[in-house]
């Protein structure tokens, strides 16, 4: 997988090594373990997905995480992206609206030794103000825009990476604390639901 990601343009060796250390097969359904490292999204419980390795790597690379960073993940899902973030950051807070997914991810991450990840069940679309400010915020579901709630939880020199668009197609957006934004290619995620996301 790592060789393939290099060929696809991922240049940050820290990200590549982090992904090499995380056992992706543990985060997919048992029937999908043989194809866990293929470059495609896979279905998990509650109608959600685990993103393809390239997208995980690209978003993590854009997030530019340092070992001193306090990170918020919006949308835990399987917990795979949280594990990758935990390999690079000081600590990670990950919020998941589906309580069953949050509980499963919390248990699996603890089993794998990721004691620097806190998984919270709640409305992920509005972040988790209790542990703000965050140096980095990663949104892992399609968003209609970056919400004011997330902006308020960002540290003065922080940045947010999110897939922004409609429910059919999005672009990866990097927003800095001063409001500057750059776009980095088209993606397709499941929609972010909640007060600051798409309505059901």
Residue with tokens 């991450």: 109
| Residue ranges making up the domain that contains 97 | 2-187
Q: Is residue 193 part of a domain?
A: no
Residue with tokens 């985060």: 27
Catalytic residue numbers, as ranges: 51
Q: Is residue 194 part of a domain?
A: no
CB 140 within 8 A of CB 51: yes
DSSP β-bridge partners for residue 165: 170
Query: What does the pLDDT read at residue 68?
Result: 98
Q: Is residue 158 part of a domain?
A: yes
Q: How confident is the model at residue 53 (pLDDT cuts 50, 70, 90)?
A: very high
Helices marked H in 10-96 — which ranges?
13-21, 53-63, 80-88
pTM summary value: 0.95
Domain count, the chain: 1
Check pLDDT > 90 for residue 33.
yes
Q: What is the pLDDT of residues 149-188, one digit of tens each?
A: 999 999 999 999 999 999 889 999 999 999 999 999 999 9
Mean pLDDT rounded to a whole number for the chain? 95
Contacts of residue 130, Cβ cutoff 8 Å, sequence gap at least 6: none
Q: Which of 163, 142, 174, 186 is nearest to 64 (CA)?
A: 174
Q: Is residue 192 part of a domain?
A: no
CATH number of the domain within which 85 lies = 3.40.50.150
């Amino acid at each position: 997988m790592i060789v393939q990601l290099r060929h696809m343009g991922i240049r940050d060796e820290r990200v590549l090594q982090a992904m090499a250390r995380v056992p992706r097969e543990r985060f997919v359904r048992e029937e999908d373990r043989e194809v866990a490292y293929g470059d495609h999204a896979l279905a998990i419980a509650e109608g959600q997905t685990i993103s393809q390795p390239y997208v995980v790597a690209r978003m993590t690379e854009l997030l530019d995480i340092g070992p001193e960073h306090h990170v918020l993940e919006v949308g835990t899902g399987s917990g795979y992206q949280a594990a990758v973030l935990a390999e690079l950051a000081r600590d990670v807070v990950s919020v998941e609206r589906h309580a069953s997914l949050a509980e499963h991810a919390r248990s699996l991450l603890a089993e794998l030794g990721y004691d620097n990840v806190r998984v919270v069940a709640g409305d992920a679309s509005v972040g988790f103000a209790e542990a703000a400010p965050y140096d980095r915020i990663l949104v892992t579901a399609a968003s209609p825009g970056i919400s004011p709630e997330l902006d308020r939880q960002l540290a003065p020199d922080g940045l947010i990476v999110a897939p922004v668009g409609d429910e059919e197609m999005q672009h990866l957006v990097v927003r800095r604390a001063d409001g500057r934004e750059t776009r980095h290619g088209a993606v397709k995620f499941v929609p972010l639901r909640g007060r600051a996301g798409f309505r059901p």
